[in-house]
Amino acid sequence: MNRSKEKLQHLEWFDILNVTFIMFGWAIFKSTAIITGLIHSTDTGAASADFNYWPNLILQSCLLVATFAYLYFRGFDFKVITSQIKLRLSVIIWIPIIFASLGLLCDICNTLAKTYNWFSPDVLKYIDWTFGAVLQKFQNLPIVMVVYSFLNGFYEEFFFLGLLPTSVKKSAALPFMLLYSTIIRISFHTYQGWTPALITGIGVGLFFYVLYRYAVKNLLPFFVAHAIWDIVGGSLIYLLLAWPQ
């Protein structure tokens, strides 16, 4: 373990593999087992009252502690990450922009993939432009669901936008990092089906990275936008809809 006075600012490839195993090893195994039919699950990844969040909240919290412990004993300089978490007024602006852009991107991808036609006139006519439907969807949410969503938003983007880019010491390594990032994102979302997993891994992952690196340069709005995305199921149009009772 690296316990020298000089802090580690760039993770080595074996660090990335170790952290990936700690944070996502079980999720990748379980997701793969579900998609291959080895085990069965009724969870489709959508936010629902039937989903038991407590086991996932506890497990993910423990894995996050284990990750922090590994990085600490490796002598990782956490300021590399914390310096990119900035509490600024611009965060209030960026959160809805990031979520709306991400949600619209997912709606377009799902429509093109024929998973669901979000742009059908029969769907769009139910959009509530007073945003009353938005408020209604956020009312009476289980506290544990909200807590888990925010933990998960931090958990995933801490790795993909925070830790993973520290492994890139030369620009030539960037494509390999993005490829690795995409593969890992896809691999633990396959339980939702291949189409949602590919949209998440390719669309969401690359969109987040490009926006973070070239525009926002602040991890905080990505943590929150990801959490909102988890809560509402990754769709902007769904959030705006007021379905008839």
- pLDDT for residue 27: 97
Give the three-state DSSP class for 217: coil
Q: Is the pLDDT of residue 48 over 50?
A: no
| 106 close to 189: Cβ distance less than 8 angstroms | no
Q: Is the pLDDT of residue 5 over 70?
A: no
- pLDDT for residue 75: 96
| Whole-structure pTM value | 0.91
| 163 close to 171: Cβ distance less than 8 angstroms | no
For the chain, give every domain's residue range. 13-240
Q: Is the pLDDT of residue 171 over 90?
A: no
For residue range 114-167, list pLDDT tens digits in order. Answer: 999 999 999 999 999 988 889 888 888 899 999 999 999 999 999 999 999 999
Helix (H) or strand (E) holding 82: helix 79-82
As a 3-state breakdown, the chain gives helix, strand, coil percent values, each rounded to 5, of 70, 0, 30
Contacts of 197 (CB under 8 A, 6+ apart): 186, 187, 189, 190
